[in-house]
A and B are shown apart, each in its own frame.
With several copies, the nearest count.
Chain A
Amino acid sequence: MLHTVNKSPFDNGTLETCLKFAQRGSAVLLIEDGVYAAARDTAVSNRMQEAAKSVSIYALKPDVEARGLQNRVMDGVRLVDYGGFVDLVVDHNTVQSWL
C-alpha cells in the first residue's frame, strides 16, 4: 500500500496516525505540508528515521522545494516528482490518503 500524508507533523497528528497503521514494507509519500517531516534535525526526525526502518519514505520534490527544504532532506528519504508520484501509485495496489 502507498500512504500519502499532507499535513505538517508538528501541529497535527496525521503523520503519527499514518505511521501507526502503515504496515512494514509499505510506502509513505509526504506531500504538500507533509514534506516538513522530511527535514533533518527537527523534533520529529528521530521518529522518521525509526519509521524509515520499516517503511519506505518518499517526499514530493516540488513541495520540498517550495518550502525551501531542498538542502535539508534527511538521509533515507527519496525525492520524487509528480511523475514519480504516479509511478508509486501504479506500483502499489491501493492508496490511502491521510488528510
Chain B
Amino acid sequence: MKFGILVNEGPYTHEASDTAYQFVKAALMKGHEIYRVFFYHDGVNNGTRLTVPPQDDRNIVKRWSDLAALHKLDLVVCVAAAQRRGLIDASEAKRHGKDADNIAPGFRISGLGQLIEAGIQADRLVVFGG
C-alpha cells in the first residue's frame, strides 16, 4: 500500500516527528511504499542540517536523511512554511539574497501542491502533529 505522511511539528519539541519516523520505518519493513513525507508548519525544522543534538540523544534530522538515502524517500519541505521559519536551500538563499543555507541532505523544498498530490496519489495520508 502507498502512504503519504504529513509532519507538522519540529524535531525534539514535539514527539510528532519521532512517531512519524517510527511509523515510516515500520511501514517500509512491512513492504509498503512511502509515496512522500511532507513537512509543514514547524515540521519544516526537521530539514535543517545545523542541529547538534546531545551525544546521548537521537539525531532526528540525520535519521530522516539516512532513511531517505536507504529507501529513496521523497522528503519535501513546504516552501512557504520554510520561508517563515528560516529553512532554505542554496537556490532559495541566492534568490532571497541570504548568505547561507541550512537544508539537510535528502530534503527538498517545494510547494503545498506536493502535499495535495500525495493525498491524491497515496492510498492513505497520515498526519502527525503537535
Residues of chain A within 8 A (CB-CB) of B19 are: 6, 31-32, 60
- Whether A95 is near chain B, meaning CB under 8 Å from some CB there, is yes
State which residues 72-99 of A face B: CB under 8 Å: 81-83, 85-87, 89-90, 94-95, 97, 99
The answer to whether A95 and B32 have CB atoms under 8 Å apart is no
| B124 and A89 contacting across the interface, CB-CB below 8 Å | yes
Chain A residues within 8 Å of B30, by CB: 83, 86-87
A62 located at the interface, meaning its Cβ lies under 8 Å from any Cβ of chain B in the complex: yes
Which of B3, B26, B130 is packed against the most chain A CB atoms within 10 Å?
B26
Q: How far is the CB of A35 from chain B (nearest CB, A)?
A: 11
Q: With A and B bound together, what is the CA distance between A63 and B18 in angstroms?
A: 11
Number of A-B contacts (CB under 8 A): 47
Number of interface residues of A (CB under 8 A): 19
Complex alpha-carbon distance, A33 and B116, angstroms: 28
Closest chain A residue to B125, Cβ basis: A95
Given the known interface contacts A31-B19, A89-B3, A90-B1, the answer about A82 and B129 at a Cβ–Cβ threshold of 8 Å is no
Q: Given known contacts A95-B125, A95-B126, A99-B127, is B23 in contact with A85 (CB within 8 Å)?
A: yes
- Can you list 15 residue pairs at the A/B interface with Cβ under 8 Å? A6-B16, A63-B15, A81-B26, A82-B23, A83-B26, A86-B26, A86-B27, A86-B32, A89-B126, A90-B1, A90-B32, A95-B124, A97-B126, A97-B127, A97-B128
Closest 5 CB pairs of A and B: A82-B26, A99-B129, A97-B127, A82-B22, A83-B26
